[in-house]
Amino acid sequence: MRASGMGRGDDRGQATVEFALILPLLMLCIVGIVWVGQVMTSQVRVEHAAREGARAAAVEPERASARAAVAVGRSMPEAAVSTRLGAEYVTVVVSVEVSGVPFIGVGARRLEAEAHMRREDLLD
């Protein structure tokens, strides 16, 4: 015969309570991992768009701004594009806003990438 209060019956809700306490932390970790993955993917896209814009601008430097904006707009229409035409190189800077973590609203940031290409009108 078991003494009162010493049996397994007193532990019945323990696993449920422990799970309920750890679930918010677990969900926060999962959402954070997904958000970091999205930011990393967005950074790669921004860098690719900057290279694409610089390549397009280097082909026709007299219309560098327009060509870079069109090239970047194909892959990232929401991005802001700035172009600098130097003596030898064309520089394209692409920036875009990334939203924060869903439901929490923190972590919004601006991603930027810069690409340089040698002007093709100067090549011999």
> What pLDDT shows up at residue 82?
93
Amino acid identity of residue 38, one-letter, is: Q
Neighbour tally for 80: CB within 10 Å:
14
Cα distance between residue 27 and residue 13, in whole Å: 21
Q: Domain residues of the chain, as ranges?
A: 12-122
Q: Could you tell me if 57 and 90 are in contact, meaning their C-beta atoms sit under 8 angstroms apart? A: yes
> What pLDDT shows up at residue 84?
93
> What pLDDT shows up at residue 107?
75
11, 84, 114 from 111: Cα distances, Å: 51, 19, 11
Q: List all residues 6 or more positions away from 52 whose beta carbon is below 8 Å from its beta carbon.
A: 71, 72, 74, 75
Q: Could you tell me if 88 and 122 are in contact, meaning their C-beta atoms sit under 8 angstroms apart? A: yes
pLDDT in tens, the chain (124 residues): 455 555 555 677 888 898 999 999 999 889 888 888 888 999 999 999 999 999 999 998 888 889 999 999 898 889 999 999 998 999 999 999 888 776 666 778 899 999 999 998 877 6
Show the tokens assigned to 52.
């694409």
pTM: 0.75
